[in-house]
Amino acid sequence: MTMRKWQFSVPCLFFALTIGGVAESQGLPTGRPDQMGFAPAGLSRIDSAMQAYVAEGKLAGVVVAVAKDGQLAHWKAFGMRSLEAKDPMEPNDLFRIYSMTKPITSTAVMILVEAGQIGLDDPVAKYLPAFGDVQVWTRTGPIPPRRPMTVRDLLRHTSGLTYGIFGQTPVDS
């Protein structure tokens, strides 16, 4: 699978994993895929791809949900929720999803960008004044940055900020 397809697949997989639980809890009705604008052949390709991931051992199990206008067009489970117990995956299984802060926050920021309430090239300090006096670490010590850190820098993880939990470097401090 190419990098481009993976970039598309990961958010779609997250959405598929999430929508299943939402569909269940919200009692979304099921619609006929063909009447909702979905080609049965296209949905079949999704099934084939997910089954291949399971068969190749890339995923133990996966749940796929396709919804439109508040109706489920397609909702299927593939593989096992537990390989050891040979327990099959069910469409309404719940998943613990880690490290979703970045994509959720990035989506929220892009909604604000789309609404014209924030700009990608705006300095971060415009919204968080404490970032107005940041320094850049060099071998000779801290210096002022060449340009302000922008919202775009934060979204693409090129701001120079660190987690501060992976090491004790001057940048972390």
Q: Provide the 8-state DSSP code for 162.
A: -
- CA 16 to CA 2: how far, in whole Å? 20
The residues, ordered by sequence, that sit 6+ positions from 157 with a Cβ below 8 Å of its Cβ are none
Q: Which long-range contacts (CB under 8 A, 24 or more apart) does 115-118 make?
A: 118/151
103: nearest Cα among 3, 12, 1, 23:
12
44 is catalytic: no
* DSSP reduced 3-state for 143: strand
Residue from 9, 25, 44, 99 carrying the catalytic annotation: 99
What is the torsion angle, in degrees rounded to the nearest 10, for the CA atoms of residue 57, residue 59, residue 60 and residue 63? -140
Task: Please classify residue 147 by burial: count the beta carbons closer than 10 Å to its beta carbon, then call 0-12 exposed, 13-18 middle and 19+ buried.
Answer: exposed
- CA 27 to CA 70: how far, in whole Å? 10
- Residues noted as catalytic: 99
